[in-house]
Structure 1
Amino acid sequence: MKKFIFTLGTTAILSAGFAGGASASGNDTYQVQKGDTLWSIAQNHDVSVDELKDANNLTSTIIHPEQNLNVSIIKEITHKVERGDTLWSISQKYGVTVEQIKAWNGLGNDLIIPGQVFAIETSGGSQAVAQPAPAPKAEPVQEAAPAPKEEPAEQPAPEAEQKQEPAQEAAAPAPQPEPAKEEQPAEQSQQSGKQLTVEATAYTASCEGCSGVTATGVDLKANPNQKVIAVDPSVIPLGSKVYVEGYGEAIAADTGGAIKGNKIDVFVPAQADAEQWGRKTVNITVLD
Protein backbone atom coordinates (compact mmCIF):
# COMPACT_ATOMS: atom_id res chain seq x y z
CA MET A 1 0.00 0.00 0.00
CA LYS A 2 1.37 3.42 -0.97
CA LYS A 3 1.15 6.34 1.44
CA PHE A 4 1.18 10.11 0.68
CA ILE A 5 1.69 12.23 3.79
CA PHE A 6 1.20 15.99 4.32
CA THR A 7 0.12 18.14 7.27
CA LEU A 8 -3.25 19.89 7.64
CA GLY A 9 -2.76 22.66 10.21
CA THR A 10 -0.55 21.09 12.86
CA THR A 11 -2.30 17.73 13.16
CA ALA A 12 -3.73 16.57 9.78
CA ILE A 13 -2.13 13.67 7.91
CA LEU A 14 -3.35 12.80 4.41
CA SER A 15 -2.90 9.33 3.06
CA ALA A 16 -4.09 7.76 -0.18
CA GLY A 17 -4.30 4.01 -0.69
CA PHE A 18 -4.58 2.20 -4.00
CA ALA A 19 -5.22 -1.46 -4.82
CA GLY A 20 -3.07 -2.98 -7.57
CA GLY A 21 -0.88 0.14 -7.68
CA ALA A 22 -3.90 2.32 -6.74
CA SER A 23 -7.18 1.75 -4.93
CA ALA A 24 -10.33 3.64 -5.90
CA SER A 25 -13.58 4.12 -3.97
CA GLY A 26 -16.66 3.65 -6.10
CA ASN A 27 -16.74 3.85 -9.87
CA ASP A 28 -16.24 7.61 -10.33
CA THR A 29 -14.56 8.01 -13.71
CA TYR A 30 -13.82 10.85 -16.04
CA GLN A 31 -13.74 10.52 -19.84
CA VAL A 32 -10.83 12.45 -21.34
CA GLN A 33 -11.91 15.24 -23.69
CA LYS A 34 -9.93 16.72 -26.57
CA GLY A 35 -7.50 19.27 -25.19
CA ASP A 36 -7.38 17.73 -21.70
CA THR A 37 -4.08 17.13 -19.95
CA LEU A 38 -3.43 15.00 -16.91
CA TRP A 39 -2.53 18.17 -15.05
CA SER A 40 -5.81 19.94 -15.93
CA ILE A 41 -7.85 16.88 -14.91
CA ALA A 42 -5.94 16.68 -11.63
CA GLN A 43 -6.66 20.37 -10.96
CA ASN A 44 -10.36 19.99 -11.75
CA HIS A 45 -10.71 17.02 -9.39
CA ASP A 46 -8.48 18.45 -6.66
CA VAL A 47 -5.92 15.65 -6.76
CA SER A 48 -2.29 15.44 -7.84
CA VAL A 49 -0.91 14.18 -11.16
CA ASP A 50 0.99 11.42 -9.33
CA GLU A 51 -2.19 10.29 -7.61
CA LEU A 52 -3.99 10.07 -10.95
CA LYS A 53 -1.09 8.13 -12.47
CA ASP A 54 -1.05 5.66 -9.55
CA ALA A 55 -4.85 5.33 -9.54
CA ASN A 56 -4.85 4.48 -13.25
CA ASN A 57 -1.54 2.53 -13.56
CA LEU A 58 -0.09 5.19 -15.87
CA THR A 59 3.65 5.21 -16.51
CA SER A 60 3.60 8.63 -18.20
CA THR A 61 1.40 11.69 -18.43
CA ILE A 62 0.21 10.86 -21.97
CA ILE A 63 -3.58 10.45 -22.22
CA HIS A 64 -6.00 10.15 -25.15
CA PRO A 65 -9.50 11.46 -25.90
CA GLU A 66 -12.33 9.16 -24.71
CA GLN A 67 -9.94 7.43 -22.30
CA ASN A 68 -11.67 6.75 -18.96
CA LEU A 69 -9.72 7.75 -15.86
CA ASN A 70 -10.48 6.82 -12.28
CA VAL A 71 -10.72 10.09 -10.32
CA SER A 72 -12.25 8.67 -7.13
CA ILE A 73 -9.37 8.50 -4.65
CA ILE A 74 -9.80 7.74 -0.98
CA LYS A 75 -8.01 10.24 1.26
CA GLU A 76 -7.70 10.12 4.99
CA ILE A 77 -6.94 13.08 7.23
CA THR A 78 -6.85 13.39 10.98
CA HIS A 79 -8.45 15.96 13.26
CA LYS A 80 -7.20 16.70 16.76
CA VAL A 81 -10.07 17.58 19.11
CA GLU A 82 -9.84 21.07 20.59
CA ARG A 83 -11.75 22.64 23.47
CA GLY A 84 -15.29 23.46 22.30
CA ASP A 85 -15.41 20.76 19.58
CA THR A 86 -18.34 18.38 19.25
CA LEU A 87 -18.80 15.46 16.87
CA TRP A 88 -21.46 17.52 15.11
CA SER A 89 -19.21 20.56 14.62
CA ILE A 90 -16.37 18.35 13.35
CA SER A 91 -18.72 16.63 10.88
CA GLN A 92 -19.88 20.02 9.57
CA LYS A 93 -16.30 21.19 9.21
CA TYR A 94 -15.30 18.28 6.96
CA GLY A 95 -18.62 17.66 5.18
CA VAL A 96 -19.23 14.20 6.65
CA THR A 97 -21.74 12.75 9.14
CA VAL A 98 -21.43 12.07 12.86
CA GLU A 99 -22.12 8.37 12.25
CA GLN A 100 -19.27 8.18 9.73
CA ILE A 101 -16.81 9.72 12.21
CA LYS A 102 -17.96 7.25 14.90
CA ALA A 103 -17.63 4.30 12.49
CA TRP A 104 -14.17 5.32 11.25
CA ASN A 105 -12.89 5.73 14.81
CA GLY A 106 -14.78 2.95 16.65
CA LEU A 107 -16.71 5.33 18.91
CA GLY A 108 -19.60 3.92 20.93
CA ASN A 109 -20.99 7.29 22.10
CA ASP A 110 -20.80 11.01 21.37
CA LEU A 111 -18.40 11.96 24.19
CA ILE A 112 -15.05 13.36 23.05
CA ILE A 113 -12.25 15.07 24.92
CA PRO A 114 -9.59 17.59 23.88
CA GLY A 115 -6.48 15.92 22.50
CA GLN A 116 -8.24 12.99 20.83
CA VAL A 117 -7.24 12.42 17.20
CA PHE A 118 -9.94 11.25 14.76
CA ALA A 119 -9.49 9.85 11.24
CA ILE A 120 -11.62 11.60 8.60
CA GLU A 121 -12.05 10.06 5.14
CA THR A 122 -12.87 11.93 1.94
CA SER A 123 -13.20 10.55 -1.55
CA GLY A 124 -12.98 11.67 -5.16
CA GLY A 125 -10.43 14.40 -4.51
CA SER A 126 -12.71 16.46 -2.29
CA GLN A 127 -10.27 17.52 0.41
CA ALA A 128 -11.63 18.61 3.73
CA VAL A 129 -11.65 22.39 4.15
CA ALA A 130 -12.35 24.09 7.43
CA GLN A 131 -15.73 25.86 7.21
CA PRO A 132 -17.39 28.00 9.85
CA ALA A 133 -20.00 25.62 11.31
CA PRO A 134 -23.49 26.65 12.50
CA ALA A 135 -24.22 26.75 16.19
CA PRO A 136 -23.36 23.29 17.61
CA LYS A 137 -25.97 21.05 19.16
CA ALA A 138 -25.91 20.11 22.82
CA GLU A 139 -22.91 17.74 22.67
CA PRO A 140 -20.40 19.56 24.88
CA VAL A 141 -16.81 18.40 25.13
CA GLN A 142 -15.81 17.42 28.63
CA GLU A 143 -13.82 19.98 30.63
CA ALA A 144 -15.31 22.83 28.58
CA ALA A 145 -15.18 25.92 30.76
CA PRO A 146 -18.30 28.14 30.90
CA ALA A 147 -17.93 31.53 29.24
CA PRO A 148 -17.37 34.35 31.77
CA LYS A 149 -20.38 36.57 32.40
CA GLU A 150 -20.00 40.22 31.47
CA GLU A 151 -23.22 41.53 33.02
CA PRO A 152 -21.54 43.43 35.90
CA ALA A 153 -19.49 45.42 33.39
CA GLU A 154 -22.66 46.54 31.60
CA GLN A 155 -24.58 47.60 34.75
CA PRO A 156 -23.01 51.08 35.08
CA ALA A 157 -24.51 52.02 31.70
CA PRO A 158 -28.07 52.78 33.05
CA GLU A 159 -26.54 54.88 35.87
CA ALA A 160 -24.61 56.92 33.32
CA GLU A 161 -27.85 57.56 31.44
CA GLN A 162 -29.63 58.63 34.64
CA LYS A 163 -26.83 61.09 35.40
CA GLN A 164 -27.20 62.65 32.01
CA GLU A 165 -30.94 63.36 32.43
CA PRO A 166 -30.55 66.28 34.89
CA ALA A 167 -27.99 67.83 32.59
CA GLN A 168 -30.43 67.60 29.69
CA GLU A 169 -33.18 69.21 31.77
CA ALA A 170 -30.86 72.00 32.81
CA ALA A 171 -30.03 72.69 29.20
CA ALA A 172 -33.69 72.60 28.11
CA PRO A 173 -34.49 76.36 28.29
CA ALA A 174 -32.81 77.63 25.14
CA PRO A 175 -31.89 81.36 25.21
CA GLN A 176 -33.99 83.43 22.88
CA PRO A 177 -31.81 85.09 20.22
CA GLU A 178 -31.86 88.85 20.32
CA PRO A 179 -32.50 90.67 17.06
CA ALA A 180 -29.21 91.55 15.41
CA LYS A 181 -28.49 95.20 14.81
CA GLU A 182 -28.01 94.46 11.15
CA GLU A 183 -31.71 93.55 10.90
CA GLN A 184 -32.90 96.98 12.04
CA PRO A 185 -33.05 98.43 8.48
CA ALA A 186 -35.36 95.53 7.54
CA GLU A 187 -37.65 96.59 10.39
CA GLN A 188 -37.67 100.13 9.07
CA SER A 189 -38.84 98.77 5.72
CA GLN A 190 -41.93 97.45 7.51
CA GLN A 191 -42.91 100.95 8.71
CA SER A 192 -45.92 102.59 7.18
CA GLY A 193 -45.21 104.11 3.84
CA LYS A 194 -45.51 103.64 0.11
CA GLN A 195 -43.90 100.37 -0.95
CA LEU A 196 -42.67 99.79 -4.48
CA THR A 197 -40.71 97.25 -6.46
CA VAL A 198 -38.23 99.06 -8.70
CA GLU A 199 -35.29 98.44 -11.03
CA ALA A 200 -32.14 99.81 -9.39
CA THR A 201 -28.82 100.81 -10.99
CA ALA A 202 -25.87 102.66 -9.44
CA TYR A 203 -23.85 105.78 -10.32
CA THR A 204 -20.88 107.81 -9.00
CA ALA A 205 -19.89 111.48 -8.97
CA SER A 206 -16.45 110.77 -10.40
CA CYS A 207 -17.55 110.44 -14.01
CA GLU A 208 -15.97 112.73 -16.63
CA GLY A 209 -17.91 115.99 -16.96
CA CYS A 210 -20.00 115.32 -13.84
CA SER A 211 -20.35 118.23 -11.40
CA GLY A 212 -21.05 115.93 -8.49
CA VAL A 213 -23.92 118.14 -7.34
CA THR A 214 -27.43 116.59 -7.24
CA ALA A 215 -30.66 118.17 -8.48
CA THR A 216 -31.39 119.33 -4.92
CA GLY A 217 -27.89 120.75 -4.37
CA VAL A 218 -26.14 117.95 -2.47
CA ASP A 219 -22.37 117.98 -3.21
CA LEU A 220 -21.57 114.28 -3.58
CA LYS A 221 -17.84 114.85 -4.19
CA ALA A 222 -17.61 116.62 -0.84
CA ASN A 223 -19.85 114.00 0.79
CA PRO A 224 -18.88 110.63 -0.79
CA ASN A 225 -20.60 108.62 1.96
CA GLN A 226 -23.95 110.36 1.59
CA LYS A 227 -26.87 107.99 0.89
CA VAL A 228 -28.57 109.50 -2.14
CA ILE A 229 -30.78 108.07 -4.88
CA ALA A 230 -31.93 109.51 -8.19
CA VAL A 231 -35.68 109.11 -8.77
CA ASP A 232 -38.55 109.99 -11.08
CA PRO A 233 -40.17 112.84 -9.09
CA SER A 234 -43.61 111.87 -10.41
CA VAL A 235 -43.25 108.54 -8.59
CA ILE A 236 -41.09 109.50 -5.60
CA PRO A 237 -41.06 113.17 -4.61
CA LEU A 238 -37.63 114.82 -4.28
CA GLY A 239 -36.54 115.18 -0.67
CA SER A 240 -38.32 111.99 0.42
CA LYS A 241 -36.65 109.54 2.77
CA VAL A 242 -36.58 106.14 1.12
CA TYR A 243 -35.50 102.76 2.46
CA VAL A 244 -33.84 100.71 -0.34
CA GLU A 245 -33.39 96.98 0.06
CA GLY A 246 -29.66 96.13 0.11
CA TYR A 247 -28.64 99.84 0.27
CA GLY A 248 -30.27 101.35 3.35
CA GLU A 249 -32.06 104.61 4.11
CA ALA A 250 -31.41 107.32 1.55
CA ILE A 251 -32.62 110.74 0.39
CA ALA A 252 -34.36 111.13 -2.97
CA ALA A 253 -32.11 114.02 -3.94
CA ASP A 254 -31.32 113.54 -7.62
CA THR A 255 -32.89 112.85 -11.01
CA GLY A 256 -31.68 111.38 -14.29
CA GLY A 257 -32.68 111.30 -17.92
CA ALA A 258 -33.04 107.51 -17.89
CA ILE A 259 -34.76 107.38 -14.51
CA LYS A 260 -38.44 107.15 -15.44
CA GLY A 261 -41.25 105.31 -13.68
CA ASN A 262 -40.31 102.57 -11.22
CA LYS A 263 -36.55 103.05 -11.63
CA ILE A 264 -33.95 104.45 -9.24
CA ASP A 265 -30.20 105.11 -9.37
CA VAL A 266 -28.28 104.66 -6.07
CA PHE A 267 -25.17 106.76 -5.42
CA VAL A 268 -21.95 104.88 -4.53
CA PRO A 269 -18.51 106.39 -3.85
CA ALA A 270 -16.48 104.56 -6.56
CA GLN A 271 -16.93 103.16 -10.06
CA ALA A 272 -16.02 99.67 -8.82
CA ASP A 273 -18.93 99.85 -6.35
CA ALA A 274 -21.28 100.80 -9.16
CA GLU A 275 -20.11 97.85 -11.28
CA GLN A 276 -20.55 95.50 -8.34
CA TRP A 277 -24.10 96.74 -7.77
CA GLY A 278 -25.02 96.24 -11.42
CA ARG A 279 -28.73 96.20 -12.28
CA LYS A 280 -31.20 94.49 -9.93
CA THR A 281 -34.82 94.46 -8.84
CA VAL A 282 -35.32 95.63 -5.24
CA ASN A 283 -38.14 96.56 -2.88
CA ILE A 284 -38.25 100.12 -1.51
CA THR A 285 -40.38 101.96 1.06
CA VAL A 286 -41.03 105.70 0.81
CA LEU A 287 -40.90 106.63 4.50
CA ASP A 288 -42.14 110.27 4.16
Structure 2
Amino acid sequence: MNHSWKKLSTRSAALVLGAAILLPGLTAHAATAYTAKENDTFWKLSKQMGVPLQQLMNANPKVDPLNIYAGLKLVIPNNLSKAAMDSVPIAEPVVSAQSITTSSGQSLPFSKVINITASAYSASSEENGKWGAVDYFGNPLKLGTIAVDSDVIPLGTKVFITGYDFAGLPTGGLVATATDKGGAIKGNRIDIFVPGSRNFVSDFGFQSVKVYILN
Protein backbone atom coordinates (compact mmCIF):
# COMPACT_ATOMS: atom_id res chain seq x y z
CA MET A 1 0.00 0.00 0.00
CA ASN A 2 1.29 3.48 -0.87
CA HIS A 3 1.45 5.61 2.29
CA SER A 4 3.03 8.70 0.68
CA TRP A 5 1.24 11.98 1.36
CA LYS A 6 1.25 15.27 -0.49
CA LYS A 7 2.32 18.27 1.54
CA LEU A 8 -0.56 20.46 2.59
CA SER A 9 -0.32 24.19 2.95
CA THR A 10 -0.45 25.50 6.50
CA ARG A 11 -3.72 27.21 5.75
CA SER A 12 -5.46 24.15 4.30
CA ALA A 13 -4.10 21.85 6.99
CA ALA A 14 -5.20 24.02 9.91
CA LEU A 15 -8.22 22.71 11.81
CA VAL A 16 -10.27 24.45 14.43
CA LEU A 17 -10.32 22.47 17.67
CA GLY A 18 -13.67 20.68 17.92
CA ALA A 19 -14.56 21.07 14.24
CA ALA A 20 -16.53 18.21 12.67
CA ILE A 21 -14.77 16.26 9.92
CA LEU A 22 -16.65 14.22 7.32
CA LEU A 23 -14.66 11.44 5.72
CA PRO A 24 -15.14 10.63 2.01
CA GLY A 25 -18.18 8.46 1.44
CA LEU A 26 -19.74 9.28 4.81
CA THR A 27 -22.46 11.71 5.77
CA ALA A 28 -23.38 13.24 9.09
CA HIS A 29 -26.09 10.57 9.35
CA ALA A 30 -23.93 7.61 8.40
CA ALA A 31 -24.68 5.74 11.62
CA THR A 32 -27.28 5.55 14.36
CA ALA A 33 -26.77 4.68 18.01
CA TYR A 34 -28.86 1.76 19.27
CA THR A 35 -29.30 0.25 22.72
CA ALA A 36 -29.62 -3.53 22.58
CA LYS A 37 -32.63 -5.29 24.07
CA GLU A 38 -32.90 -8.73 25.64
CA ASN A 39 -32.51 -11.53 23.02
CA ASP A 40 -31.17 -9.18 20.33
CA THR A 41 -28.71 -10.75 17.87
CA PHE A 42 -26.82 -9.27 14.91
CA TRP A 43 -28.93 -11.45 12.61
CA LYS A 44 -32.21 -10.22 14.10
CA LEU A 45 -31.09 -6.57 14.00
CA SER A 46 -29.89 -6.86 10.40
CA LYS A 47 -33.38 -8.00 9.39
CA GLN A 48 -35.12 -5.42 11.56
CA MET A 49 -32.94 -2.48 10.46
CA GLY A 50 -32.49 -3.52 6.83
CA VAL A 51 -28.69 -3.57 7.15
CA PRO A 52 -26.50 -6.38 5.70
CA LEU A 53 -25.32 -8.69 8.48
CA GLN A 54 -21.60 -8.35 7.68
CA GLN A 55 -21.87 -4.55 7.47
CA LEU A 56 -23.52 -4.47 10.89
CA MET A 57 -20.79 -6.68 12.39
CA ASN A 58 -18.06 -4.56 10.77
CA ALA A 59 -19.57 -1.44 12.37
CA ASN A 60 -19.24 -3.05 15.82
CA PRO A 61 -15.80 -4.74 15.70
CA LYS A 62 -15.36 -4.85 19.49
CA VAL A 63 -18.72 -6.51 20.15
CA ASP A 64 -18.75 -10.26 20.75
CA PRO A 65 -21.59 -11.59 18.52
CA LEU A 66 -22.35 -14.20 21.17
CA ASN A 67 -22.59 -11.68 24.03
CA ILE A 68 -25.13 -9.06 22.98
CA TYR A 69 -26.95 -8.11 26.16
CA ALA A 70 -29.67 -5.65 27.13
CA GLY A 71 -28.23 -2.14 27.48
CA LEU A 72 -25.23 -2.72 25.17
CA LYS A 73 -24.55 0.28 22.91
CA LEU A 74 -24.38 -0.65 19.21
CA VAL A 75 -23.76 1.28 16.00
CA ILE A 76 -26.29 0.79 13.19
CA PRO A 77 -24.74 1.84 9.86
CA ASN A 78 -26.97 3.80 7.54
CA ASN A 79 -25.80 4.69 4.04
CA LEU A 80 -29.19 4.89 2.38
CA SER A 81 -30.28 8.12 0.76
CA LYS A 82 -33.33 9.85 2.24
CA ALA A 83 -35.43 8.75 -0.74
CA ALA A 84 -34.32 5.15 -0.25
CA MET A 85 -34.99 5.35 3.48
CA ASP A 86 -38.50 6.68 2.85
CA SER A 87 -39.19 3.70 0.59
CA VAL A 88 -38.25 1.13 3.23
CA PRO A 89 -41.36 -0.11 5.05
CA ILE A 90 -41.38 0.27 8.81
CA ALA A 91 -40.93 -3.12 10.44
CA GLU A 92 -44.05 -4.11 12.34
CA PRO A 93 -43.79 -6.31 15.43
CA VAL A 94 -44.51 -9.95 14.64
CA VAL A 95 -46.51 -11.82 17.25
CA SER A 96 -46.07 -15.58 17.01
CA ALA A 97 -47.45 -18.32 19.20
CA GLN A 98 -44.89 -20.80 17.85
CA SER A 99 -42.81 -22.41 20.56
CA ILE A 100 -41.28 -25.77 21.30
CA THR A 101 -41.00 -27.24 24.77
CA THR A 102 -37.81 -29.10 25.67
CA SER A 103 -37.69 -32.28 27.73
CA SER A 104 -36.74 -30.14 30.74
CA GLY A 105 -39.93 -28.10 30.34
CA GLN A 106 -38.31 -24.99 28.86
CA SER A 107 -40.45 -23.20 26.27
CA LEU A 108 -38.45 -21.90 23.31
CA PRO A 109 -40.18 -19.50 20.89
CA PHE A 110 -39.06 -19.96 17.30
CA SER A 111 -39.64 -18.24 13.96
CA LYS A 112 -38.80 -20.98 11.48
CA VAL A 113 -38.15 -24.71 11.14
CA ILE A 114 -35.67 -26.15 8.62
CA ASN A 115 -35.18 -29.78 7.66
CA ILE A 116 -31.42 -30.29 7.75
CA THR A 117 -28.88 -33.03 7.11
CA ALA A 118 -26.53 -33.13 10.09
CA SER A 119 -23.07 -34.55 10.61
CA ALA A 120 -20.76 -34.28 13.60
CA TYR A 121 -17.16 -33.28 14.21
CA SER A 122 -14.67 -33.54 17.05
CA ALA A 123 -11.78 -31.42 18.34
CA SER A 124 -9.19 -33.61 16.61
CA SER A 125 -6.44 -31.86 14.66
CA GLU A 126 -7.29 -33.96 11.59
CA GLU A 127 -10.69 -32.30 11.41
CA ASN A 128 -9.73 -28.76 12.37
CA GLY A 129 -6.41 -28.26 10.57
CA LYS A 130 -4.00 -25.46 11.37
CA TRP A 131 -6.66 -23.36 13.10
CA GLY A 132 -7.02 -25.84 15.95
CA ALA A 133 -10.09 -26.66 18.02
CA VAL A 134 -11.74 -23.24 17.76
CA ASP A 135 -14.80 -21.94 15.97
CA TYR A 136 -15.00 -19.24 13.27
CA PHE A 137 -14.64 -16.49 15.91
CA GLY A 138 -11.66 -18.14 17.63
CA ASN A 139 -13.61 -19.46 20.62
CA PRO A 140 -12.85 -22.98 21.91
CA LEU A 141 -15.17 -25.65 20.52
CA LYS A 142 -17.79 -26.77 23.04
CA LEU A 143 -21.09 -28.62 23.22
CA GLY A 144 -23.59 -26.29 21.58
CA THR A 145 -21.25 -25.20 18.76
CA ILE A 146 -22.47 -25.90 15.24
CA ALA A 147 -20.99 -25.15 11.82
CA VAL A 148 -23.40 -23.81 9.21
CA ASP A 149 -23.73 -22.35 5.73
CA SER A 150 -24.16 -18.71 6.76
CA ASP A 151 -26.35 -18.08 3.70
CA VAL A 152 -28.90 -20.48 5.19
CA ILE A 153 -28.36 -19.97 8.93
CA PRO A 154 -26.51 -16.70 9.68
CA LEU A 155 -23.62 -16.80 12.13
CA GLY A 156 -24.74 -15.94 15.64
CA THR A 157 -28.17 -17.56 15.24
CA LYS A 158 -29.43 -19.58 18.20
CA VAL A 159 -31.20 -22.82 17.29
CA PHE A 160 -32.81 -25.91 18.82
CA ILE A 161 -31.96 -29.22 17.12
CA THR A 162 -34.11 -32.33 17.39
CA GLY A 163 -34.43 -35.68 15.64
CA TYR A 164 -30.89 -37.02 16.03
CA ASP A 165 -30.01 -40.33 17.66
CA PHE A 166 -26.58 -40.28 19.26
CA ALA A 167 -25.27 -41.03 22.76
CA GLY A 168 -22.85 -38.08 22.67
CA LEU A 169 -25.63 -35.48 22.56
CA PRO A 170 -28.41 -34.57 25.02
CA THR A 171 -31.52 -36.72 24.78
CA GLY A 172 -34.51 -34.88 23.35
CA GLY A 173 -32.70 -32.01 21.67
CA LEU A 174 -29.83 -29.55 21.78
CA VAL A 175 -29.78 -25.75 22.09
CA ALA A 176 -26.89 -24.53 19.96
CA THR A 177 -25.43 -21.41 18.36
CA ALA A 178 -24.11 -21.08 14.81
CA THR A 179 -20.52 -19.96 15.43
CA ASP A 180 -18.56 -22.06 12.97
CA LYS A 181 -18.25 -22.66 9.22
CA GLY A 182 -16.83 -25.48 7.11
CA GLY A 183 -15.88 -25.91 3.49
CA ALA A 184 -18.16 -28.93 3.11
CA ILE A 185 -21.12 -27.34 4.92
CA LYS A 186 -23.25 -26.00 2.08
CA GLY A 187 -27.00 -25.51 1.80
CA ASN A 188 -29.24 -27.30 4.30
CA ARG A 189 -26.34 -28.85 6.20
CA ILE A 190 -24.98 -28.42 9.69
CA ASP A 191 -22.03 -29.96 11.49
CA ILE A 192 -22.54 -30.45 15.23
CA PHE A 193 -19.51 -30.36 17.52
CA VAL A 194 -19.47 -33.35 19.86
CA PRO A 195 -16.92 -33.77 22.68
CA GLY A 196 -15.02 -37.03 22.41
CA SER A 197 -12.58 -38.91 20.20
CA ARG A 198 -12.72 -38.69 16.43
CA ASN A 199 -13.68 -42.39 16.19
CA PHE A 200 -16.54 -41.95 18.64
CA VAL A 201 -17.91 -38.85 16.93
CA SER A 202 -17.70 -40.42 13.46
CA ASP A 203 -20.39 -42.93 14.53
CA PHE A 204 -22.89 -40.08 14.22
CA GLY A 205 -22.77 -40.38 10.43
CA PHE A 206 -25.38 -38.36 8.55
CA GLN A 207 -28.78 -37.84 10.12
CA SER A 208 -31.91 -35.94 9.19
CA VAL A 209 -32.80 -33.41 11.89
CA LYS A 210 -35.11 -30.46 12.44
CA VAL A 211 -33.52 -27.10 13.24
CA TYR A 212 -35.73 -24.53 14.97
CA ILE A 213 -34.54 -20.94 14.49
CA LEU A 214 -35.07 -19.39 17.91
CA ASN A 215 -36.38 -15.87 18.43
Task: Give the number of the structure whose alpha-carbon radius of gyration is greater.
Answer: 1
User: Larger helix proportion, structure 1 or 2?
Assistant: 1
TM-score by length of 2: 0.43
Which has the higher relative contact order, 1 or 2, with Cα contacts under 8 A spaced 6 or more apart?
A: 2
TM-score by length of 1: 0.33
